[in-house]
């Protein structure tokens, strides 16, 4: 099994719909992140969590919300999806005191 698992891998949804992307990890890491990747723009941080009771906005949090249900689970929600949220979404984890991130395989989201 992958260390960081994202579900679904692909999703097509309609404008205005609520959608949740899920991330679970078996690394035992405290820190979890959600990134968005668009062509030419690299990885942009949406939200991050340093432990179960900690939630922080990243650089592009508008239109998104998150929930840290447990140390191993961090979900990203789009309350009312819009077409410009079409992108590749990545979840990542890291351990406190160590700086390298482990990424999931990504969720390709298309909003039509």
Partner 1 sequence: GESVGLHLPTLSVQEGDNSIINCAYSNSASDYFIWYKQESGKGPQFIIDIRSNMDKRQGQRVTVLLNKTVKHLSLQIAATQPGDSAVYFCAENGSGANSKLTFGKGITLSVRP
Residues that bind partner 1 (CB under 8 A): 4, 33, 40-43, 45, 48, 50, 90, 92, 96-97, 99-106
The nearest distance, CB 95 to partner 1, in angstroms, is 12
The nearest distance, CB 57 to partner 1, in angstroms, is 12
Q: Which residues contact 44 (CB under 8 A, 6 or more apart)?
A: 35, 36, 37, 38, 58, 59, 60
**First-to-last C-alpha distance (Å) of the chain:** 32
- Residue nearer to partner 1 on the CB measure, 81 or 92: 92
Q: Is the dihedral of CA 5, 3, 84, 50 positive or negative?
A: positive
- Residue nearer to partner 1 on the CB measure, 48 or 64: 48
């Amino acid at each position: 099994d992958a260390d960081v698992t994202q579900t679904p891998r692909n999703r097509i949804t309609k404008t205005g719909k609520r959608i949740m992307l899920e991330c679970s990890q078996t690394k035992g890491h405290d820190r979890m992140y959600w990134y968005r990747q668009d062509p030419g723009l690299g990885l942009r941080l949406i939200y991050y969590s340093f432990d179960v009771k900690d939630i922080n906005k990243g650089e592009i949090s508008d239109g998104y919300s998150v929930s840290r249900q447990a140390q191993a689970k961090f979900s990203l929600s789009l309350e009312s999806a819009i077409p410009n949220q079409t992108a590749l979404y990545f979840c990542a984890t890291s351990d406190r005191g160590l700086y390298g991130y482990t990424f999931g395989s990504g969720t390709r989201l298309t909003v039509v």
